[in-house]
Structure 1
């Protein structure tokens, strides 16, 4: 698989070289995007697919350091040979709350996974959305969730939260 690690460093700009250096040093990198008028902030990984054959990860509306620390935790789990379940709740991501990982539809890659798309020279990688419940334990697809909380974690699946809710 061709990645930016294979690119001629002379053809990369300073930002590109810095990004590639992070992946060379740590095996992965985090990109954080702040909230704006178009939506909530989010963070995602680049490098999990190359190193482990595990989908990249994206999470919305967590503070940047919390997202980064969570990704490090999951990186270490993958390094130890452990995988998280897809489509069902797990208590192995967050200390005090369950989490669910759902496949991200490729139609969302362009708007949310820019550095990963650049690194992999296209969309030939997988990504999972990391989701967490509100304070009452409701995930974004729950009918009990508030509109504001649902908006904080948009549905990046093929739709209908990967079939977890009926709308």
Structure 2
């Protein structure tokens, strides 16, 4: 039965990549697990890095990934700079992440790309008071995998 579920899941992944160019995987919050979401297929289909988001729910993460694809498939990505126009509610930063640092998170992408090259960026967002992880008194459960220094 487990193999049937896996096959159905990956059929859904490949169908989404085929129809819209990418798939979003979301892992929900559990005790001692920060929720996260990530894309698969963006690098292959739009030639921009995949996106990893830690600490936001699946609906918002999905919307952000959709906005990211629409904006950057034809625009230069600004790394390590505050971006105010990706979503309405708060500014973000995009930082580079080494694939090896994400391997335990992005299993769908690892399976999809196999031995092909792919890249990831991580989206960094502020806490509820507008503070980023490098600000004093930042307070939010966001796993930062890449290097965030501004």
* TM-score normalised by L of structure 2: 0.87
The 1:99/1:20 distance shift into structure 2, 3 A limit, reads same
- Structure 2 residues without counterparts, runs of 5 or longer: 1-5
- Partner SS for 1:111: coil
Partner of residue 156, structure 1: 145
Partner of residue 135, structure 2: 142
Report the structure number with the largest CA radius of gyration.
Answer: 1
Asked if structure 1 preserves the Cα contact closer than 8 Å seen for 2:71 and 2:86, the reply is no
Number of matched pairs: 145
Asked if structure 2 preserves the Cα contact closer than 8 Å seen for 1:33 and 1:43, the reply is yes
Partner of residue 113, structure 1: 106
The 1:23/1:119 distance shift into structure 2, 3 A limit, reads same
Partner of residue 62, structure 1: 56
- Structure 1 residues without counterparts, runs of 5 or longer: 1-11
The structure where helix makes up a greater share of residues is: 1
What is the aligned-residue RMSD (CA, Å)? 1.9
Asked if structure 1 preserves the Cα contact closer than 8 Å seen for 2:41 and 2:50, the reply is yes
Partner of residue 28, structure 1: 22
Asked if structure 2 preserves the Cα contact closer than 8 Å seen for 1:106 and 1:123, the reply is no
Partner of residue 3, structure 2: none
Asked if structure 2 preserves the Cα contact closer than 8 Å seen for 1:108 and 1:156, the reply is yes
CA distance in 1, matches of 2:128, 2:76: 26
Deviation at 1:37, TM superposition (A): 3.5
